[in-house]
């Protein structure tokens, strides 16, 4: 998994590529905990995700929860076909904002 950051004045986009699974989810979780309090809008660009496991879904949901206390928001941007299918199958697409 690779994480690329694109920052603007009020937002941060994390472009995540590769596999988001048990082995890589802790890296993303650590990054999210580090940046959540200083970010108004967080975009998780999942267009290059090849595979997402339940551990990956948990971290995506954590991103949403981390943004709430500061009034921020998390938006999933351009999920890959596989990721979109997983979000729909789990019902997470109705909880999270997906563009």
* Per-position DSSP letters for 26-59, written without gaps between them: HHHHHHHHHHGGG-SEEEEEEEEEEEE-HHHHHH
Give the tens place of pLDDT for each residue, 29-40.
999 999 988 899
Write out the two tokens for 10: 């009020």
**Residue 54 belongs to domain with CATH number:** 3.30.750.24
The whole-number pLDDT of residue 56 equals 96
Percent pLDDT > 90 in the chain is: 93
Half-sphere exposure of 32 toward its Cβ, with a 13 Å CA cutoff? 26
pLDDT tier for residue 9 given thresholds of 50, 70 and 90: confident
Arithmetic mean of pLDDT, 88-94: 96
Domain that holds residue 75: 2-98
Q: What is the mean pLDDT of the chain?
A: 95
Domains identified in the chain, total number: 1
């Amino acid at each position: 998994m690779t994480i690329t950051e694109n920052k603007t004045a009020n937002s941060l986009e994390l472009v995540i590529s590769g596999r988001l699974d048990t082995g890589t989810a802790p890296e993303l979780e650590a990054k999210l905990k580090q940046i959540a309090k200083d970010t108004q809008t967080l975009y998780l660009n999942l267009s290059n995700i090849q595979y997402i496991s339940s551990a990956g879904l948990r971290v995506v949901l954590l991103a949403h929860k981390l943004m709430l206390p500061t009034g921020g928001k998390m938006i999933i941007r351009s999920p890959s076909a596989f990721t979109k299918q997983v979000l729909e199958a789990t019902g997470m697409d109705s909880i999270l904002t997906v563009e």
